[in-house]
């Protein structure tokens, strides 16, 4: 398995060279969220530093959006896409599902709308991050058909501890596993979330090759 981390402004400014030298091969960094009661997207204060640091040190990386339900999913997706349009990253962007004001079919349809907008713009399915508890309680709820639409999406599971994760319906397996929120590594002065890619070096490269990001080319300047 390949070691990685996920970070946000809570980790403050990170020495990404030291992180790379510690053996970390990939990272997810927070890009944005809509805070409760707010209708304007809030970029993570360390977004640009983390995007630049991972790119300069050749750490496979991707931004994530913390999803909330008080803003329409398409609005969230377009705001997120606009925020990350000039960043360099090699892994699919992530939708982070932890909090919800909806459940069941309604929430699943909203999450699907967000994911479809990302795929339409970047040509890649976003990674879905969540815990098994959230997925079962808020997405599946009382009907497995609610989540069948997400079969085939890359899946990042939050399950703290060292017991190997079991499949979460409808995903055959998780591609990424967040197994700790209290890690300590060189280059990060605080605790940090620790992750594994569930495969080796060749499988990681195959994953990236299978999920290429196709950013639209910018329009030429007017003559």
For the chain, give the mean pLDDT: 94
DSSP character string of 104-139 = HHHHHHHHHHHHHHHHHHHSSPPEEEEEHHHIIIII
Q: What percent of the chain has pLDDT over 90?
A: 91
pLDDT over 70 at 217, yes or no: no
Report the relative pairing of strands 155-158 and 127-131 from DSSP bridges: parallel
> What domains does the chain contain, in order, with CATH numbers?
2-210 (3.20.20.80)
Neighbours of 57 (CB within 10 A): 18
The pLDDT assigned to 220 comes to: 46
DSSP code of residue 140: I
Q: At what angle do helices 104-122 and 73-84 cross, to 10 degrees?
A: 30
Helix (H, G, I), strand (E, B) or coil at 222: coil
If you search the block for the tokens 């290429």, which residue do you land on?
212
123 CB-near residues (< 8 Å, 6+ apart): 212, 213, 214
Position 216 confidence tier, pLDDT thresholds 50, 70, 90? low
The pLDDT assigned to 133 comes to: 95
Per-residue pLDDT tens over the stretch 70-113 = 999 999 999 999 999 999 999 999 999 998 889 999 999 999 99
pLDDT over 60 at 39, yes or no: yes
Helix (H, G, I), strand (E, B) or coil at 27: strand
Neighbours of 147 (CB within 10 A): 25
pLDDT over 70 at 221, yes or no: no
Across the range 135-154, mean pLDDT stands at 95
If you search the block for the tokens 């309604």, which residue do you land on?
106
Across the range 48-73, mean pLDDT stands at 97
Which segment of 116-120, 174-178, 219-223 scores lowest on mean pLDDT?
219-223
Per-residue pLDDT tens over the stretch 124-143 = 999 999 999 999 999 999 89
The pLDDT assigned to 219 comes to: 43
The pLDDT assigned to 100 comes to: 84
Task: Give burial (CB, 10 Å; 0-12/13-18/19+) of 182.
Answer: exposed
Q: Which of 74, 66, 78 is nearest to 31 (CA)?
A: 66
Q: 165 near 177, Cβ under 8 Å?
A: yes
Across the range 186-191, mean pLDDT stands at 97
Beta-bridge mates of residue 157? 130, 177
């Amino acid at each position: 398995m390949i070691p990685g981390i996920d970070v946000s402004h809570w980790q403050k400014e990170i020495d990404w060279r030291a992180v790379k030298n510690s053996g970390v091969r990939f990272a997810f960094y927070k890009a944005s969220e809509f805070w409760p009661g707010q209708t304007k997207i809030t970029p993570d204060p360390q977004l640009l530093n983390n995007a630049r640091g991972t790119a300069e040190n050749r750490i496979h990386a991707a931004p994530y959006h913390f999803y909330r339900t008080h803003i329409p999913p398409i609005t969230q997706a377009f705001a997120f896409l606009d925020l990350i349009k000039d960043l360099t990253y090699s892994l699919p962007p992530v939708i982070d599902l932890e909090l919800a004001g909806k459940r069941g079919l309604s929430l699943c349809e909203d999450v699907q709308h967000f994911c479809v907008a990302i795929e339409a713009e970047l040509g890649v399915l976003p990674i879905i991050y969540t815990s098994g508890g959230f997925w079962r309680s808020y997405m599946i709820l009382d009907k497995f058909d609610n989540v069948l639409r997400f079969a085939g999406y890359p899946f990042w599971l939050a399950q703290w501890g060292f017991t190997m994760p079991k499949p979460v319906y409808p995903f055959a397996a998780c591609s990424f596993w967040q197994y700790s929120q209290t890690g300590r590594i060189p280059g990060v002065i605080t605790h940090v979330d620790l992750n594994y890619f569930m495969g080796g070096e060749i499988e990681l490269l195959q994953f990236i090759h299978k999920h290429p990001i196709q950013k639209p080319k910018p329009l030429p300047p007017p003559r």
